[in-house]
Structure 1
Amino acid sequence: MSVKRIKPNIRSDRFNESRAFYTKVVGLQEQPGLDWILFFGTDRREVQLSVMSLDVKAGIHPDISIEVDDVDAVFGRAVEAGAEIVYPLTDEEWGLRRFFVRDPNGTVINVTQHA
């Protein structure tokens, strides 16, 4: 199992201001998103951050997303370790298989794999 990328998820309802800040001030490019989430990055897939209002499916804000190549293996290890699963392993209609787990610090991690 390998980690492909780690990206922060910033919670905000200020999409217009966020769009202006991350493109004009920071210099990131806006990438295709959804009506509840904006993506900003560069031509390198590993460089990305998200600005989201609230995860529409989970109803919980994930602080960080970690993309892996075997989400089922990570889910199994999380369950075995007794970690708190706050959103079950789910195949989403936008092409991700994912779950949310709370780390020992209370941080909600969105563990994903492209389906």
Structure 2
Amino acid sequence: MKFEDAVMVMSLRIEVFVADVEASGEFYRRVMAFDELSRQPADGPAQYLWMGRGSARIGIGAGDAAIDPATRHTPRGTEIVLEVDDLEAELARVQETGWPIAAGLQTQPWGLRDFRLHDPDGYYLRITSRRH
């Protein structure tokens, strides 16, 4: 395989480490409309959830004492950016859940529109229009 071919097959997923896996899973299901794709263990309280919506994937893991706090903490200066086709409809859907919006719908200097919210552990989510 050539280097150029290897670059073309790259994809991205994120993992967040949280205080309560089930509560975070509920947020991503109810507020962000993600589906639970799998869980570990398969029965009982989850230690890890694999969530998806469209091609977006988020892993949610238990952030406990076994995880090095120097490398596994709520990041500062990081945004989870989720692109949607219909930003107004997405905002209305999130508002219907009653979850607080951190920053309402606005057009950014770079030309895209977005709104922002925090998940239960403080991860910052920016919901934005797709580039056209």
TM-score range, shorter chain: 0.3 to 0.5
Larger radius of gyration: 2
TM-score (norm 1): 0.43
Higher relative contact order (CA 8 A, sep 6+): 1
Higher strand proportion (structure 1 or 2): 1
